[in-house]
Chain A
Amino acid sequence: MNVPADRKYTRSHEWAKQEGSLIVVGISDFAQESLGDVVFVETPEVGREVQAGEAVAVVESVKTASDIYAPVSGKVVEVNEALADEPELVNGDPYGVGWIFKLEPSNPAEFDALLGPDDYTKVIEEES
């Protein structure tokens, strides 16, 4: 299972990557694989203030719907508009063009507390 080293992870299978002053969020390869074909991504409203751990987006496959939680607190500043027409990007390239939203973090310490790639790899080993 692909777990890139350039970012952090959550137990609920989101990844978070620093990009300048922003945090980009998506779901892991493990998550997209367990969901199966993604058919719809409900993205949050730009401008919404969210708390770490708050459900802010939903990723749907044919038979499931999974909440996506904000890895850190902050303000939603951008969502991936391309997913509206091509939700399958989440399957094809979960760490790249399949990103879901970007946050302007309000508490940088939260990012540091997220799981590193090794710890996340252990999480998915436990689950599979």
Chain B
Amino acid sequence: MKRDFPTLFERSRTGRRGTRPPRPAEVDLAGLLGAENLRAAPPRLPEVDELTVVRHYTNLSRRQVGVDTNFYPLGSCTMKYNPRTGEAAAALFAELHPYQDPGTVQGALQIVYELQEYLAEITGMDAVTLQPAAGAHGELTGMLLIRAYHESRGEGEQRRVVLVPDSAHGSNPATASMAGYQVREVPSGPDGEVDLGALRAALGPEVAAIMLTNPNTLGLFERKILELIDAAHDQGVQLYYDGANLNAIMGWARPGDMGFDVVHLNLHKTFSTPHGGGGPGSGPVGAKAHLAPFLPVPTVKREGGRFLLDFDRPQTIGRMRSFYGNFAVMVRAYTYIRMLGAEGLKRASAMAVLNANYLRKKLAGVGYRIPYDRLCKHEFIAQPPEGLKALDVAKALLDYGYHPPTVYFPLIVKEAMMIEPTETESRETLDEYVEAMAEIARRGLEDPEWIAHTPYRTPVRRLDEVAANRKPVLRWRPEEA
């Protein structure tokens, strides 16, 4: 019987020390801080030596997969290779304080300024803020720009509704709510694209914006995008571009040219900054000129040879984040863009789309169903062969050394498996993955018991999520004596 992997708290021994700060002078804490303000007992942090800390986290990391260890075709997440160059780059700028004199951070401000310019160029927008800390944060920023715009035209009260396709990321409707809007869903047509007729019918003077992802979450490019945007603009409706899927079209097309008014990007998807187990990311927002006056402050501007923090934006929506955003993430994205250049970005998208279509074709050949079987962009939706569940295929993949695709999303496809290989995977990797998928399908159909109990070889096996949700245990506590 395997033992449970201990927590740091269980490894703790009273009086054991790890890293020691320089030997402190006697400090009269009660005198300096006021005896009544002191805590009665220190926080119960683990008491462990350094080697224990190092082994603990090193061994935890071995119970974790990442892009560095495994093929990770998690749809909608763009799990591409994260160059170590970005880490070396970020380290060069770690010891800068946001409140130091701007004259002493000209190099940092130059990076912010130039990245603003590059992202405006890549998306076809007029102005960019790098303040948002993540994609959803960028979404909120973008929706608040739209709201401020309508308010500035005296239409704030009237335009209360945001349209969102039923295939949208959950963060879109959640964001619209946080921005104070009512959400109305627009159905997708049988071709997986937004139903243009239904959308036209939903447009009206009460609509503030439409939030779209293009290519959409099915991996399909919205072919009627230009008509769609014209129809919306005719009614005074603003178009929001969710940039989660920009990796499909970098250098091939720009949301700004499509007619979008606002766009957010995920630097941690498209521009190869690492996801870090869930963050931190960065969610820059690009806006057309009519929305630029509302951007959050500060932005960075150039005056002569100097780079300055610009707080002078009287119509700003305000601040979205403390300081200037996730600067160290920006440095990594800046590094990536400068390494690839325009040609490299274009090639990255082409290879991402090539890999996705190749995989789509190959999987269709080994029994997987492709509900929208046409040219896709950087990702596509597959369904397991009749008789198998997406969840079971996902769990079986773990034993084969693959991170599963996103499953059960988008919600409009039953048993959906959303597969995004990214451009940094080789043809051999894709071929081997297809072989594994084929074997899982065959074995799973032959032996339902086997697949229902996968995985067998992972650090833990299927976990009781019902128990965790009924009676959550959200912190470690010592065993009751």
Q: Count B-side interface residues using an 8 Å CB cutoff.
A: 5
A39 CB contacts on chain B under 8 angstroms: 466, 469-470
**Interface assignment of B408: CB less than 8 Å from any CB of chain A:** yes
**Interface assignment of A78: CB less than 8 Å from any CB of chain B:** no
Q: Quick one: CB contact mask for A51-62 with B, threshold 8 Å, 1 for yes? A: 000000000101
Q: Quick one: CB contact mask for A68-90 with B, threshold 8 Å, 1 for yes? A: 00000000000000000001100
**Interface assignment of A37: CB less than 8 Å from any CB of chain B:** yes
**Interface assignment of B4: CB less than 8 Å from any CB of chain A:** no
Q: Cα distance A87–B472 when bound, in Å?
A: 13
Cβ distance A61 to chain B, nearest Cβ, rounded Å = 8
**Interface assignment of B465: CB less than 8 Å from any CB of chain A:** yes
Q: Does A40 contact B408, Cβ atoms closer than 8 Å? A: no
Cβ distance A48 to chain B, nearest Cβ, rounded Å = 21
**Interface range on chain A (Cβ under 8 Å from partner):** under 10
B469 CB contacts on chain A under 8 angstroms: 39-40, 60, 62
Q: Cα distance A87–B470 when bound, in Å?
A: 8
B470 CB contacts on chain A under 8 angstroms: 39-40, 87-88
**Interface assignment of A122: CB less than 8 Å from any CB of chain B:** no
Secondary structure of the B contact surface, majority rule = helix
Within 8 A of A (CB), among B426-477: 465-466, 469-470
Name which residue of chain A comes closest to B411, CB basis.
A64
A88 CB contacts on chain B under 8 angstroms: 470
Q: Cα distance A62–B466 when bound, in Å?
A: 6
B465 CB contacts on chain A under 8 angstroms: 62
Q: Cα distance A88–B469 when bound, in Å?
A: 12
Name which residue of chain B comes closest to A86, CB basis.
B470
Q: Quick one: CB contact mask for B206-226 with A, threshold 8 Å, 1 for yes? A: 000000000000000000000
Name which residue of chain B comes closest to A62, CB basis.
B465
Q: Cα distance A88–B470 when bound, in Å?
A: 9
B408 CB contacts on chain A under 8 angstroms: 63
Q: Cα distance A107–B465 when bound, in Å?
A: 42
B466 CB contacts on chain A under 8 angstroms: 37, 39, 62
Cβ distance A121 to chain B, nearest Cβ, rounded Å = 23
Q: Cα distance A40–B467 when bound, in Å?
A: 11
Q: Cα distance A39–B472 when bound, in Å?
A: 10
Cβ distance A39 to chain B, nearest Cβ, rounded Å = 4
Q: Cα distance A88–B408 when bound, in Å?
A: 24
Q: List 11 A-B contacts (CB under 8 A).
A: A37-B466, A39-B466, A39-B469, A39-B470, A40-B470, A60-B469, A62-B466, A62-B469, A63-B408, A87-B470, A88-B470
Measured CB to CB, the residues of A under 8 A from B are: 37, 39-40, 60, 62-63, 87-88
The 3 closest A-B pairs by CB, nearest first: A39-B469, A37-B466, A62-B465
* Contacts A39-B470, A62-B466 supplied; 11 other A-B pairs, CB < 8 Å: A37-B466, A39-B466, A39-B469, A40-B469, A40-B470, A60-B469, A62-B465, A62-B469, A63-B408, A87-B470, A88-B470
